Every structure is written in structure tokens, then in C-alpha cells.
Amino acid sequence: MISFEQIEFWNWWVIAVFLIGIEIFAPGAVFLWMGIAAAAVGFVLLAFPETTWQFQLLIFAVLSVVSIYVWRYLLRDRFAKPESGRVLNRRGASYVGRTFTLKEPIVDGSGLLHVDDSRWKVEGEDLPAGAKVKVTGIDGTVLKVERA
């Protein structure tokens, strides 16, 4: 049986691989950062082999907490999906706020708008073909527009 006095640098690296492996089955980046902290303790122990096991555990705990905190509160937003990712499978919602040119007029409050490779039914004030419109909302598959 291994006592705490016999912990070597490679033991921490095995723990790091184990923790990072757990991340595959329990995603959320917590075990990933704990694994990175364990690997860092292994490097510290490699550089300073006389480090006591109590200090090793302290380094591991501090690095784990700090790295998880930094990930959750500082770095996570940098890697978040762009705003358009929030409207996946809601194509019409991605057009809200954009401006387009009418190829067909809006008559009696209803018309068609050509957007990329598709046609959308639009509702808004009567406007001639060639007018610029801004999409202000969506109701099902109907885009609400106003003069831009």
C-alpha cells in the first residue's frame, strides 16, 4: 500500500488522466479543470520533489477552485455561441432587425419578401417594390415589417 510520503509526480499525472477521462462521461468542464490542476501539481512535484503531501493537496485544492472559478465566470462567455446560435431552427427569428429590399409590393398589408433562397410572407404597411423594409418581428411563418 502506498503511503502519502511515497507520492511521486507521475501519481498526480495518473490522477489527471483519470479526472480528464471522467469529463467524457460527466461533461461540464469541472473534472477537466481539476485534471489540469492535478497535472500542474505533478509538474510542481517534479520540480520540487521534497514537497510534502499536505502542501501538494493544498496546491491541488487551490488550483482546482481557482481554475474552475476562472472558467465559469471569466472565460465561459468568450467561448459561448454567437447570438445567431440561439435561433437555431428558428430561421425567421434570425431575420429580426435586418433590412431587406422588397422585390414585390406589399398590397393590402400583405406581400412576399425574397430572403436568400426563400420567400417569406410579410405583413406591414403598403409599400412598392424596391422599398427598403426592416423586419421587426415574427408571427409563426409571417415576418412583420416596417419601412426602413
Residue 137 has a CB neighbour count (10 Å cut-off) of 15
Kindly report which listed range (69-78, 81-90, 110-119) carries the lowest average pLDDT score: 81-90
Note whether 16 and 62 are same-domain residues. Answer: yes
Asked if residue 60 and residue 125 are part of one domain, the reply reads no
Select from 79, 113, 139 the last residue of a domain. Answer: 79
Question: Residue 57 above 90 pLDDT?
Answer: yes
Q: What is the distance in angstroms between the CA of the first residue and the CA of the last residue of the chain?
A: 76
More confident of the two residues 29 and 133: 133
Q: Domain range for residue 11?
A: 4-79
Contact at 8 Å (CB) between 96 and 138?
yes
pLDDT at 13: 92
Q: State whether 66 and 92 are in the same domain.
A: no
Nearest 5°: phi and psi at 146?
-145, 160
Specify the DSSP element, H or E, that contains 123: strand 118-123
- pLDDT confidence of residue 77: 66
Question: What pLDDT score does 78 carry?
Answer: 64
pLDDT on residue 85: 52
Measured between alpha carbons, how far is 95 from 102 in angstroms, rounded to an integer? 14
Whether 117 and 59 map to the same domain: the answer is no
Residue 123: the pLDDT is 92
11 & 70 share domain? yes
The alpha carbon of residue 70 and the mean position of all alpha carbons in its chain are separated, in whole angstroms, by: 15
Indicate whether this model's pTM tops 0.75. no
Confidence of residue 133 (pLDDT cuts 50, 70, 90): very high
Note whether 101 and 113 are within 8 A (CB): no
